Chains A and B, each alone.
Chain A
Amino acid sequence: SQQGEEDPQALSIQEGENATMNCSYKTSINNLQWYRQNSGRGLVHLILIRSNEREKHSGRLRVTLDTSKKSSSLLITASRAADTASYFCATEESGANNLFFGTGTRLTVIP
């Protein structure tokens, strides 16, 4: 099985700045998802991008997918203190039956 790798492992920014985190994976995928986790809580689904899509937007979130480089990025614009959380990418491999999660990026937004 594969697991995505997020980069950076930790990111600290000022409120109002943009935050970018990246995810790389190893094999062909059907889709890639991003989730958010507040400390000690469950994960919350943010956005899903399919392998035939290159970019997707949802509110202040922008996700890109480059299947040739096997990578994705999540951009959070105009960050807020409430965006402080860990962010995980998850991939559904082609032919597989479940999601594989990365190790996460810990985002801290300083007020």
Chain B
Amino acid sequence: DGGITQSPKYLFRKEGQNVTLSCEQNLNHDAMYWYRQDPGQGLRLIYYSQIVNDFQKGDIAEGYSVSREKKESFPLTVTSAQKNPTAFYLCASTTTERTGEKLFFGSGTQLSVL
């Protein structure tokens, strides 16, 4: 089945630790996105990539890093510089380089701080 796979579903981070969230898609989509969702708030864009080896910062990129070495994969690293990392992280992709079209979402990763 085609889709977007995020792993792990739950992740715990210790103080000062970097953690990496995985996002893989087999939909042959060009564009991929990372969003952060906090309770009572909408989704906020962290980073997005429209093509391999290229990515742009979203509204809340500080404390996060990404890579796009393969079309299928767009991992997100939450660094120790992100002081409030507890949130639900969602990865999404779409069929065209032009954003604003229908997004396909993964099932999310809940990150918590120990």
Contacts and interface: CB of A to CB of B under 8 A. Distances in A.
Q: A and B bound?
A: yes
Interface of A: 1, 3-4, 30-31, 33, 35, 40-45, 48, 88, 90, 92, 96-104
B99 A43 contact: no
Contact of A41 (B4, B104, B108): B108
A104 B100 contact: no
B25 interface: no
A42 B48 contact: no
Contact of B33 (A31, A44, A98, A102): A98
Q: Which range contains the number of B residues in contact with the other chain?
A: 20 to 34
Contact of A43 (B41, B56, B59, B103): B103
A44 B4 CA distance: 12
Contacts of A1: 59
A56 B99 CA distance: 21
A103 B42 CA distance: 4
A41 B83 CA distance: 24
B100 A41 contact: no
A43 B105 contact: yes
B65 interface: no
Contacts of A104: 42
B58 interface: yes
A42 B100 contact: no
Contacts of A101: 35, 42-44
Contacts of A40: 88, 108, 110
